[in-house]
Amino acid sequence: MTTARIALMVNGEKISAEVPARLNLADFVRDQLGLTGTHVGCEHGVCGACTMRVNGEIIRSCLTLAVQADGCAVETIEGLSDSGEIADLQAAFRERNALQCGYCTPGMLITAQDLLLKHADPERTEIREHLSGNYCRCTGYHAIVDAVERTAKARQRRP
């Protein structure tokens, strides 16, 4: 079959769609669902701009076919943003100027949140390592690492 019917959850909403087999998950959410917060950069897994969460784990949506996400729970930057889950991280990015053009930012936020969920108090080297698969061509990374570190510290102070 060159097309397939898939049923999945996207940001908590049930979605059913007919998709071409070759369609990747990034293009599916962008073009068929209108969720354009997921960015498409290199399309071969190098840049990290298309990072999403599938069943709670971060993945490259340019290296995942939409048919492979059949039956899965997909979360995009819109989901993480609208739920307020990463509001503090987003604020820290803004305050610390951790973005300029913003192209990499959705992927950076999702990847950074993934680290913070696993590791409440990461070292700067651990932040850099976890973000190593996400390219930013504006900031030089320093401000991004600062923002993630600041968010980790602030969350730890939270009761």
Partner 1 sequence: MKAPAFSYMRAESVEHALELLSRHGDAAKILSGGQSLLPALNLRLAAPAILIDIGRLDELRGIDLRDNVVTIGALTRHVDLLASEEILSSLPLLRQAAAHVAHPAIRNRGTIGGNLAHADPASEFPACMLALDARMVIRREDGERRVDARDFFRGIYETALEPCELLVAIEIPRPQSGSRTYFHEFVRRSGDYAMTGLAALAHLDGAQFADLRLSYFAIGDRPYLARATSHLVGVAITGERIAEAQAALDAELDPPDDQQASAAMRRHFARLLLSRCVANVLERPELAMEAVT
Place of tokens 């998950």: 25
* Separation between Cα atoms, residue 124 and residue 130, nearest integer Å: 10
Q: Closest Cα partner for 27 from 13, 14, 41, 6?
A: 41
Among 67, 104, 109, 152, binds partner 1 (CB under 8 A): 67
Residue 109 phi/psi, 5° resolution?
Answer: -65, -45
* 30 part of the interface to partner 1, by CB under 8 A: no
Site string for partner 1, 90-109 (x = CB under 8 A): --------------------
Q: Which of 43, 88 has the CB closer to partner 1? A: 43
Among 8, 10, 11, 24, binds partner 1 (CB under 8 A): 24
* Separation between Cα atoms, residue 54 and residue 45, nearest integer Å: 16
In order of 28, 50, 126, 152, the CA distances from 35 in angstroms are 9, 12, 30, 28
- The first and second tokens of residue 3, run together, are 């097309």
Contacts of partner 1 in 106-135 (CB under 8 A): 111, 114, 128-130, 132-134
**CB of residue 140 vs partner 1: minimum separation in angstroms?**
14
* 76 part of the interface to partner 1, by CB under 8 A: no
Which residues partner with 18 through β-bridges? 5
Judged by the rule CB under 8 A, the positions of this chain that interact with partner 1 are 1-2, 4, 20-22, 24, 27, 43-45, 48, 51, 57-60, 62-65, 67-68, 111, 114, 128-130, 132-134
